[in-house]
Structure 1
Amino acid sequence: MGKFLFYDIDGTLMGKSKQITEKTKWAIEQAQRNGHKAFLCTGRAPTSISDDLKEIPFDGIVCSAGGFVIVNNEFIFENFMNQYVLSEVMTLFINNHILFTLESKDALYQTPGVNEFFMQRQQLDFKNNLELARFFEIRRANENRKPIKDFNILKTGITKVCFIAPAKQDFQRCVPFLEEFFNIVIFSKAEDDFINGEIILKHCTKADGIIKVVNHFHGQMKDTIGFGDSMNDYQMLEEVNIGVVYENAPQHLKDLGQYYFTDPDQDGIYKVMKEMQLISD
C-alpha cells in the first residue's frame, strides 16, 4: 500500500513566488506513479484553488481547513457553521470593527474595507506574510468574490471565517467568545500592529479532513504524511504519522516534524521527497 501525501499550499508547495516549481510538480506526479496518493490540504476555499494547482492531477483536496473534502472531483464531506453561531460571530466582528471574509462552497463574501486594508499594507507587510499575500491575490484573482450585502445566512452555508483586526485590542476582546466554538489561527506576527487569521470550527480541521480521506480509501493513518509550514497546519502535522515541516516554521510546529524542507521556491519539497525516498531521479 502506498502512502497518503497531504500538502499545504501557501508556504509549502508555493513560496514567495506564488508558483510551484517544475521539479515539485514532477515530484508529486512521480510519487503517484510510484503508487502513492497525493492531496492538497489547504485553508483555501474551493473557489480559491487556482488553475495552476488544478493542472496537477491530485487525488483529492481537503479545503477550507477541513470544511470540505473532495475526492476524484466529488464532495464527500461538507460542514457548515450553525447559523445562530455565525450570526453571533458576524455581529461580534462588526461591533468590534473587525474586517472579515465568509468562505462558502462557491463564493467569498467580504466586508467593506478588506480590499483597502490589503492595498495599504501591500508594500509593507506582504513579503513576510504569505497568508496575507494570498488574501490580497484573492482580491485580484478571477474568483467569485461578493460583497457581504449579497450574503443570505438562510440560504448559504459558511464553513470558515477569515478576519483582519486593524487594532489588536479589538480582536483580543472577541477571543473569549470565540474559543468555545472555534480553533483560532493567527498568521500575523507578534510585532505587527494588526491581527489577521481565521477561525475554524472545532472538530473540523485539516486533521479531520485527512481522516475522512483515509477512511474513504479504507487506508490506515500509519501511511499518512503531511507537509506544512504554518500554525493552521498544526492539527494536520499532529495527526499524520510523519510530519514534514518548513525549516523556518515556528518552533511549536517544527517540534511535530520528522523531516524538514527548505524554501519551496528552491525545490524544497522535491528535495525532501527525494530524501524520504518517495521518489528517485
Structure 2
Amino acid sequence: MHDYRAIFLDIDGTLTQPGHSAPPVSAVAAIESARRAGRRVFLCTGRCEAMLKPLLHCADFDGYVASSGGLVVVGSRDVFDCPMTPQEQAHVLTALSDNGVFRTVQTRMGAYCDEGFRDFLRARDVQNGSSELLRWREAIEQRLQMQPMRDYGGEPVYSVVCMSPTRAQLERAMAECSEFDFVLMDDRQHDLVNAETANRRYDKGSGVKQVCAAIGVDPADSICFGDSLNDLPMFAAAGFSVCMGNGGDAAKQSADAVCNSVDDDGLAKAFADFGLLA
C-alpha cells in the first residue's frame, strides 16, 4: 500500500455536509490518527479563508488551500496569495449586477451577499406558499457567518458565487466576463442556477502542487478527497484521488476510487482502507 505523506480534503460534501462546518466525529478522529502517523493534512476548498476557519477549531490541520487555489497557507505562512485585480473585480461585479444575478463576494475577511437575494427568495416563497427558501438561505448564512453586502469594505476579492433566477441571465453575464471561467451548479431543489468564478491563474490543483513544494513532498505521494466538479483539478494534481459516495457522476468517473458518503463515515472508512491511520 502506498505511503501517502500529504492528504487534501475538500470541505462541502466531503469533510462536512454542504454548507455546514461540523465534520462527523469519525472524520475528526481519522484526521488526528493520520497526523499521529506523520502525515500532513490540508483543507482544499472553494471557501474563502473566513468561511473555512470554523473547521480549524474542529481538528488540527497543517494548512489549507482556500478560494479554490487563490490562497495557499502552510502552517502560518502564506505560500500563495492571488486575489482578483481591481479591474477584474469591478468588471465581474458590475456584469453580474447588471444582468440581475445575485452575488456573494469572498474575501479573506468574510463573505458578503447582495441583500436583494433575500427579498427575491421571500417573493419566491410567497409565490410557492411556503417559507422554505428563505429559511434555507438564512440557515446557510448563519452557519457560514455570511454578511450583507453593505458591510463589504472593498477588500480584495478572490471569487464570486453567483445565484441567478434563470440560466439566460447568468449566461449573459458570463459572456461579458471572458477573463474568467465559471463553474456552473444547477440547484434543482431550490430552482436556482448557481455558479462560481474560476480564476485562470490558479485552481485547486495548483494549490496542491504549491503545498507539496512547500513541505518537500512529491505530489505523487499525496492523496485527495472531493465530491464535485471543482475538485477535478485537485484529482489530477494529487497522486491518488477519492470521490465521496455522495459526489457527482463526473467527479466519480474522474477519481481513482469512490468511498462511502460523507454521512456514512466515508472519510474515516477510506482513511482506514488506504492505510492512512496510525
- What is the CA deviation profile of residues 75-130 of structure 1, one whole-angstrom value per residue up to 9, with x for unaligned ones? 2221111211221111111110000011111122322223445666773699xxxx
- What is the CA deviation profile of residues 114-168 of structure 1, one whole-angstrom value per residue up to 9, with x for unaligned ones? 3445666773699xxxxxx6x754521473624247443xxx2111111101122
Describe how 1:157-196 pairs up with structure 2 within 5 A.
157-178=156-177, 180-189=178-187, 193-196=191-194
Question: TM-score normalised to the size of structure 1?
Answer: 0.86
CA distance in 1, matches of 2:197, 2:25: 33
Matched, 1:8 2:10: yes
1:143 corresponds to which residue? 145
CA distance in 2, matches of 1:125, 1:168: 21
Which residue identity lines up with residue 278 of structure 1 in the other structure? L
Q: What SS is found at the alignment partner of 1:237?
A: helix
Q: What SS is found at the alignment partner of 1:143?
A: coil
Describe how 1:187-266 pairs up with structure 2 within 5 A.
187-189=185-187, 193-266=191-264
Q: What SS is found at the alignment partner of 2:29?
A: helix
2:86 corresponds to which residue? 83
State the Cα distance separating 1:56 from its structure 2 match. 0.6
Which residue identity lines up with residue 224 of structure 1 in the other structure? S
State the Cα distance separating 1:196 from its structure 2 match. 0.8
Using the aligned pairs only, state the percent identity: 25
2:66 corresponds to which residue? 63
Tell me how many residue pairs correspond in the alignment. Answer: 269
State the Cα distance separating 1:16 from its structure 2 match. 6.2
8 Å CA contact retained: 1:68, 1:78: yes
Correspondent of 2:132 among 89, 114, 123: 123
Q: Which runs of 5+ in 1 are unaligned?
A: 127-132
Question: TM-score normalised to the size of structure 2?
Answer: 0.86
Q: Which runs of 5+ in 2 are unaligned?
A: 126-130
- What is the CA deviation profile of residues 218-255 of structure 1, one whole-angstrom value per residue up to 9, with x for unaligned ones? 22111111100011111111221101002242222112
8 Å CA contact retained: 1:109, 1:151: no
Q: What SS is found at the alignment partner of 1:255?
A: helix
Instruction: Provide the aligned C-alpha RMSD in A.
Output: 2.6
- What is the CA deviation profile of residues 186-234 of structure 1, one whole-angstrom value per residue up to 9, with x for unaligned ones? 2224787421121020131111111111111122111111100011111
1:130 corresponds to which residue? none
8 Å CA contact retained: 1:64, 1:160: yes
